[in-house]
Amino acid sequence: MLIKNIKVFFNQYKPSDAQLVIKISVLKKKPLSGIKILDLTRLLPGPMCTLHLADMGADVVKIEEIAVGDYARIIPPLQNKNSIFFNAINRNKRSVAIDLTKEDGRKIFSKLSENADVIIESFRPGIVNKLGIDYNTLKKNNPKLIYCSITGYGQTGPYRDKAGHDINYCSYAGILDGKGIPNFQIADIVGGSLNAAMGILAALVQQKMTGEGQYIDVAMMDGVLAHTATALAMVNHGEQGFLTGALPCYNIYETSDNKFMALGALEFKFWERFCTAVTRNDLVFKHMVTDTEAEKVFSEVAAIFKSNTRDYWTDKLKDVDCCASPVLSLKESLSGEQVKARNMVKVHNNSDEGEVTQFALPLKFSSFDFEIETPAPILGQHTVQELLLAGYSKAEIEQLRSNKIIL
C-alpha cells in the first residue's frame, strides 16, 4: 500500500517533496521509525510529547485548523511567521490543515487515521465524540489504533469539564506553596507530555506484540499528583517535607550579592565535606536536625553563605564533593559548561524563520545521533503531500481547497 501511494505521489507531485516524505516515512533508522502519529494537540503538553516522539523517529503529522492552526503559532514574541515558542517545540513534524467542523474535513481525517499507529488529542472531554473522530469510531477501520487524550482532569470525575491551566492542576495536586510560580510548567510537562509519551510507548510495545490498539486517558492533575511520592511520605508528618525546606543540609541560601546557592548535602558524607570546606566542624554532627535545632543550624549556614558572593562560593566549592551549586538563571544555564558539553542547545537555520534556538533531545542513543531534520512547519505546508499519499488525486485536492476544507 505504501509503495503504491508513493508511486501516485511521484506521478502527481514534484520529486523533491516526494523524496522528503519517503525519507520521513521509510528511511529513518531511529527507535520509532515507521510509526505514524496524527497530532491534534495544541499549545504545550501535546506538542512537547510529540516533539520527543518525532525526534526519536516517528512521522508526526500536526492536524491543524485552517485559520490559525496551533494557537502556539501566535504566542508572543513572534520570530517571523511563527512564534519563537512554536518553532522550538514543533521541529521534525509536518503540518496538514483541515477544517474538522465540516463533514468533508472529518472524512479526510478518518481516511488518514486508517494508516495511523497513534492519534493524540487535547480537546475538552466529549469534543472528539461530537466531531465523530473519537476512538470508538475510528478503531472500527483501524483496530491497531492507539488513541491518547490529554486533558486537565481526565475523562471522568467531577472536574472533568473544568477549564484549567498548569497553575490550576498544580494547585489541586498540592504542590504549590503560595510563594511563587515556577518557571517550568510542571503539570503540563510532567503530568501531560511525559506521561502521555510513556503511555503511548507502552501501548506501542503491546500493539507490536498483539496487533491491538487501545485508548489512553491522560489527566495532567493525575500525572503531577502521582509523582509527588516524597511529599506523600511526609503528608502525616507535618506540613513541610524534608526536601522542601525543613532541613538545613538541603536548602537554598542567599549570597552577599543577592544571588543564591543550592546545598543538597542529604548524605552525611556530603554534609561533613561541606562543613570542613567552610571550616565549621562544629556543625558536622548537626546534619539531620529538625524544628528549633534546624532553625539554629539554618541561621548559621545562611550567615556563612551571606558572607560572600555566589561566584566566590561556586569557585570555593567546585572541587568539594558536597552537592553545592549556584542557582542560575536560564540564560546562565544555557551558556554553562555542562550544557555545552552535553550539546543540549541547538541553533537551527530555518529559511522561513532565521536562526531558531531550541533544546536537543534529552536522551543519548547509541544507535543514532539526534539531529533537527526539518524546522517547525508553516501552517498547512504538507497538506497536499499527505493527501496524495492517502490516495487523493490532484483534482480532488484542488476541489477540497476551493471549498475551504483544507489549506
Give me the tens of pLDDT residue by residue for the chain, a chain 407 residues long.
444 444 444 444 444 444 444 444 444 489 999 999 999 999 999 999 999 999 999 999 999 999 999 999 999 999 998 999 999 999 999 999 999 999 999 999 999 999 999 999 999 999 999 999 999 999 999 999 999 999 999 999 999 999 999 999 999 999 887 778 989 999 999 999 999 999 999 999 999 999 999 999 999 999 999 999 888 877 766 656 678 888 999 999 999 999 999 999 999 999 999 999 999 999 999 999 988 999 999 999 999 999 999 999 999 999 999 999 999 999 999 999 999 999 999 999 888 899 999 999 999 999 999 999 999 999 999 999 999 999 999 999 999 999 999 99
322 & 370 share domain: no
195 & 319 share domain: no
CB-CB neighbours of 88 under 10 Å: 21
Give me the number of domains the chain comprises. Answer: 2
Q: Of 298, 326, 354, which one is at a domain's C-terminal end?
A: 326
209 & 280 share domain: no
Q: Of 326, 355, 376, which one is at a domain's C-terminal end?
A: 326
270 & 198 share domain: no
Domain that residue 272 falls in: 260-326
Please, what is the angle between helix 15-22 and helix 2-12, to 10°?
A: 160
All cell numbers assigned to 18: 516526494
Q: Of 309, 326, 343, which one is at a domain's C-terminal end?
A: 326
Residue 270 inside a domain? The answer is yes
Q: Are strands 118-121 and 36-39 parallel, antiparallel or unpaired?
A: parallel
265 & 371 share domain: no
CB-CB neighbours of 308 under 10 Å: 15
208 & 69 share domain: yes
Residue 239 inside a domain? The answer is no
Alpha-carbon distance values, 59 to 22, 26, 39, 214 (Å): 11, 10, 10, 19
Q: Which residue is listed with cell 504542590? A: 175
CA triplet 221, 226, 229: central angle to 5 degrees? 135
298 & 376 share domain: no
The CATH number covering residue 222 comes to: 3.40.50.10540
Residue 130 inside a domain? The answer is yes
Residue 209 inside a domain? The answer is yes
190 & 315 share domain: no
Residue 351 inside a domain? The answer is no
Residue 254 inside a domain? The answer is no
Residue 98 inside a domain? The answer is yes
264 & 216 share domain: no
* pTM of model > 0.85: yes
What does the DSSP assignment read for 291-341?
A: HHHHHHHHHHHHHHHHTS-HHHHHHHHTTS-S-EEE---HHHHHTSHHHHH
Alpha-carbon distance values, 334 to 113, 182, 369 (Å): 40, 18, 21
Q: Are strands 59-64 and 260-264 parallel, antiparallel or unpaired?
A: unpaired
Distance CA 133, CA 103 (A): 11
26 & 144 share domain: yes
Residue 345 inside a domain? The answer is no
CB-CB neighbours of 140 under 10 Å: 9
264 & 172 share domain: no
Provide, for the chain, the percentages of residues in helix, strand and coil under a 3-state DSSP scheme, each rounded to the nearest 5: 45, 15, 40
319 & 395 share domain: no
